[in-house]
Structure 1
Amino acid sequence: MSSAPLIFAHIGDLHITKAREQNYIDLLSIVAQIETELSNQLDFVLLPGDNADNGLPEQYKLVATALKMLSIPVYLLAGDHDMEQGGLDYFYQMPVARQLPLSVAIKGKRCLFIDVCGSGSGGPDFRIGNQQFAWLQKELDDSKNQDEEILLFMHTFPSDLKDKDEQVKLNRLLETYRVVLVDMGHTHYNEITNNGQTVFTATRSTGQIEEGPVGYSIISINQGIVSWRFKHLADPFPFVLITAPADYRLINNPNQFVSGKYRVSATVFGSKQIERAEFQDAQDEWTEMIFNNSQKTWSAEIDAANQPLNSVTVKATDQTGRPGQWTIHPATTQYKLPERVKDGSDVDTIGAWTENGVFGTQLGPNRNGKPS
């Protein structure tokens, strides 16, 4: 298994209609930023569905035109809006679109992209179907035999599947095969749910949103540790993502508690050369980190504090003198993990993480939306 983290950017539901609309302008800005500032450090970019608001060919042409700027792989899911014309023919006419379901192995991780909208007709008729379940079962078996970490990409939470039996079946597979991450669209707001084994993440829509400024998320999987950080489009670089240890909100395995000396690792994004990176521990002391060129990460060892939650801040400074930093809170065994429901819904939400763009208000135009 590769020791280098898998890192990807998630651009939320686009709902593209016309070139003059703000969401298309935002998409162009996001894609340009990813290409110029992050592309050499990302493994791929994900679009989680609802790419074209009405599933029309002229809308897909706009999406395809924007994505031409990217030099790294792009994976697209289908959403219910992509089905508004009764099928996905126009979706698959985009040069970048690949037939779903799709399995891709990257850095010792198995990335599985599935279509839960292919039998719908524009509404929230989310299904997997027997044929795709058989494919999924085979991929999970193969991945287990090769000792790979498993990531699943789908348009919506498993609990939104129309067939209750499919919900149960998918949740059972997630548990049996210890799927690390399920990454989704559809909610239209930033959401993180952690059932104690699988972390479910959704990123705010680029096209339809009631909370927070436009942006995209950057997600890392590092030997089972899930890291998630929202990047506001206007935020400056360098941009720090701590890829280990796990923040207490994202612990999905008891081996992710910290104790004694433990390693802190971070990836720093930005086109300018990073001159130095430092970490700050609970004693407010700054210590320099070492750059690992093969993994493109900064790392150092730190002593765990004897308390339930620790605090670790990583600060990176580029050649212009501009700093960027991020703070997480690792947990020791003194921290008691919350009870989990594990039903494939947002019931195991981590709640608000305001400094990370997760407001917990769940404002959105779909059935998951809650009134303010």
Structure 2
Amino acid sequence: MLRWLQFGDLHVCEGDGWESLDRFRRLVDEANRGLAGRVDFAVLPGDNANHAQPEEFRCIAEVAGRLRLPLHILPGDHDFEAGHLDTFRALLAPAPLPRAETIGDTQCLFLDIVSAGSGGPDFRLGAAQTAWLHRTLQQGEAQRRLVFMHAFPGDLRDGCEEIAALFARSGVAYVGTGHTHYNDLLNDGHVIYGATRSTGEIEEGAPGFSVSALDGDVVSWRFKTLESGWPFVLVTSPSDWRLATDTQSRTQVPEAAIMVRAEVFGASSSVTARLDDARETALTQDGDGVWCARFEDVADGLHRLDVTATDAGGQSDTDRIEVLVRKARERPKRPPSLALGRDVHSVRVWPHKGIPGGRLGPNANGRKW
């Protein structure tokens, strides 16, 4: 199991009275309270400093230094507003990009899609980084892979088809992004893409961060707001049908039996699972602290699965997914690969995961640049 959290674009600047910086500070405190020691790393996906000013980068670095998790920081177009990333690297994120790190048994790639462009939303990987990406994804044995970049491949000015197809055939399970200002999940039939709502310049919803996991071949994602408290539940297996990319996988599309696995962040005294409002069972912890249960003899079709954690004070939280169960001879086929890496594959609305569907931001219905 690999677990990570992602903040949204910070857009830190003096113009909002440093409000976005204060939000980031509170989010860091919240992550330290419930996730430190429980997730493997965190990501800032770019647009950290709204105007690429030294003071903005210094303030972000001071708050980021309080986070008790390894933090990977990417550049966005706002970090490149000065026409270079020198200040970004000197004051905030000195680690070179692109880079690949193996975390647990998963290869994680961190990309720069701004410095090869001309500024603004002129997102490009550039020839050297594209060649590096091909080499990195094509070498070695097949393994689980994650990619983090500021925007979806569909936002690249050139190379979208090449890069998205490379991700699809190279075992990339998930690509984490920012840029949109709204929460979004895409499933192009091969790769899950997740964008986390901005922290500054919020146009829809409350500030928070997303928590994700890769459990075997199952990707899970859920947004946690500052106001929601603890405990916080994330069902990590089986897959919700909206996030299934391999219909032959018995963890993505189970056959008859459903093995439930869930992460519970924050204290809990009991964890239960309910299937279709009819069958309920208690979960128990395995050696890795993952809460587990099993439902046998589940009929073919779509089933609602709720996992609820309750702490000693009576505070509770529920994560909900919909699981598709199919017999071996009737398993659905993968649809044709069309428009890979583009937000035409958005789930659009998924309120329980923190995706209200208004899509207020630069990519869809938001303000102009």
TM-score range, shorter chain: over 0.9
Which one of 7, 12, 18 corresponds to residue 8 of structure 2? 12
Number of aligned residue pairs: give it.
Answer: 359
In the alignment, the residues of structure 1 paired with residue 95 and residue 345 of structure 2 have an alpha-carbon distance, to the nearest angstrom, of 32
Q: Aligned match of 1:285 in 256, 276, 279?
A: 279
Tell me the equivalent position of 1:275.
269
Candidates 350, 355, 359, aligned match of 1:358: 355
State the AA in 1 paired with 2:313: T
Counterpart in the other structure of 2:341: 344
Matched, 1:162 2:157: yes
Q: Distance in 1 between matches of 2:130 and 2:151?
A: 16
Secondary structure of 1:27's partner? helix
| Structure-2 residue corresponding to 1:264 | 260
CA change 1:96–1:275 in 2 (3 A) is farther
Aligned partner of residue 63 in structure 2, secondary structure: helix
Q: 1:191 to 1:354 in 2, by over 3 A?
A: same
Distance in 2 separating the partners of 1:69 and 1:178: 34
1:199 matched to 2:192? The reply is yes
Aligned-pair identity in percent equals: 34
What is the SS of the residue equivalent to 1:329?
strand
Question: 2:234 is paired with a residue of what secondary structure?
Answer: strand
**Deviation of the 1:258 alpha carbon:** 1.3
Between the aligned partners of 2:161 and 2:118, the Cα distance in structure 1 is 24
> Structure 1 counterpart of 2:201, which letter?
Q
Counterpart-to-counterpart distance in 1, 2:62 and 2:291: 35
Stretch of structure 1 that moved more, 20-29 or 73-82: 20-29
Q: Which of the numbers 140, 143, 147 marks the counterpart of 1:152?
A: 147
Matches of 2:93 and 2:341, distance apart in 1: 30
2:273 is matched by which residue type in structure 1?
Answer: F
Contact 1:76 1:97 in 2 (8 A): no
CA contact 2:258–2:298 (8 Å) conserved in 1: no
User: Which residue number in structure 1 is paired with residue 215 of structure 2?
Assistant: 222
Alpha-carbon distance in 2 for matches of 1:48, 1:337: 34
Q: Does 1:86 align with 2:83?
A: yes
Contact 1:153 1:183 in 2 (8 A): yes
Give the structure-1-normalised TM-score: 0.91
1:107 CA displacement = 2.0
Deviations 1:256-284 (A, max 9, x none): 111222210000011x3x22211112253
The residue number in structure 1 matching 2:230 is: 237
In the alignment, does 2:17 pair up with 1:43?
Answer: no
- Secondary structure, aligned partner of 1:206: coil
- Could you tell me whether the CA contact under 8 Å between 1:278 and 1:288 is conserved in 2? yes
Is contact 2:98-2:112 (8 Å) kept?
yes
Cα distance, 1:283–1:360 mapped onto 2, change above 3 Å:
closer
CA distance in 2, matches of 1:47, 1:311: 33
**Structure-2 residue corresponding to 1:65:** 62
Flag as ranges the 4+ runs of structure 1 deviating above 6 A: none
The Cα offsets for residues 156-192 of structure 1, whole Å up to 9 and x where unpaired, read as 11111112xx112212211221311111111110111
Alpha-carbon offset, residue 329 of structure 1: 0.8
CA displacement, residues 197-253 of structure 1 (integer Å, 9 cap, x when unaligned): 101110111011221111111011111211010101100210000000001111111
Distance 1:14 1:148, change over 3 A: same
- Structure 2 segments unaligned to the other structure (5+ residues): none
Q: Specify the alignment match of 1:369 in structure 2.
A: 365
Q: Which residue of 1 aligns with 2:317?
A: 324
Structure 1 pair 335–229 and aligned structure 2 pair: CA distance change class (3 A): farther
Evaluate the alpha carbon distance shift between residue 317 and residue 367 of structure 1 in structure 2; reply closer, same or farther with a 3 A threshold.
Answer: closer
Distance 1:106 1:49 in 2: 21
Question: Does the 8 A contact of 1:83 with 1:120 survive in 2?
Answer: no
**Structure 1 residue aligned with 2:108, among 89, 103, 111?**
111
For the residues of structure 2 that align with 1:329 and 1:86, how far apart are their CA atoms?
46
Distance 1:368 1:127 in 2: 20
Partner SS, residue 80 of structure 1: coil
Q: Compared with structure 1, are the counterparts of its residues 87 and 241 closer, same or farther at alpha carbon in structure 2 (3 Å cutoff)?
A: same
Worse-superposed segment, 86-95 or 281-290: 281-290
Kept after mapping to 1: 8 A contact 2:257/2:298 = no
How far apart are 1:332 and its partner, in Å? Answer: 1.7
Relative to the length of structure 2, the TM-score reads 0.92
How far apart are the structure 2 equivalents of 1:30 and 1:16?
Answer: 14
Distance in 2, matches of 1:196 and 1:304, equals 28
Partner of 1:311: 304
Match of 1:208 in 2: 201
Change (3 A) 1:97 1:315: farther
CA RMSD in angstroms, aligned pairs only: 1.9
Report Cα offsets for 1:46-98 as digits up to 9, x if no partner: 00000000011100011101111112100011100000011101111235542
